[in-house]
Structure 1
Amino acid sequence: MSDIHIHVTDREGTTHKIEAPTDMNMNLMEIVRMYELAPEGTIGVCGGMAMCASCQCYVESDHELPEMSDDEDAMLAEAFYTEDNSRLGCQIHISPELEGLKIKLAPES
Structure 2
Amino acid sequence: MTDTAATGRDLPHPEREEIRLETVLHALSDPMRLRIVRELALAEEELSCSRFDLPVTKSTTTHHFRVLRESGVVRQVYRGTAKMNALRREDLDALFPGLLDSLLSAAGRQFARLGDDI
TM range (shorter): under 0.3
Q: By percentage of residues, which structure has more helix? A: 2
- The higher relative CO (CA closer than 8 Å, separation ≥ 6) is in 1
Larger radius of gyration: 2
Structure with greater strand share of residues: 1
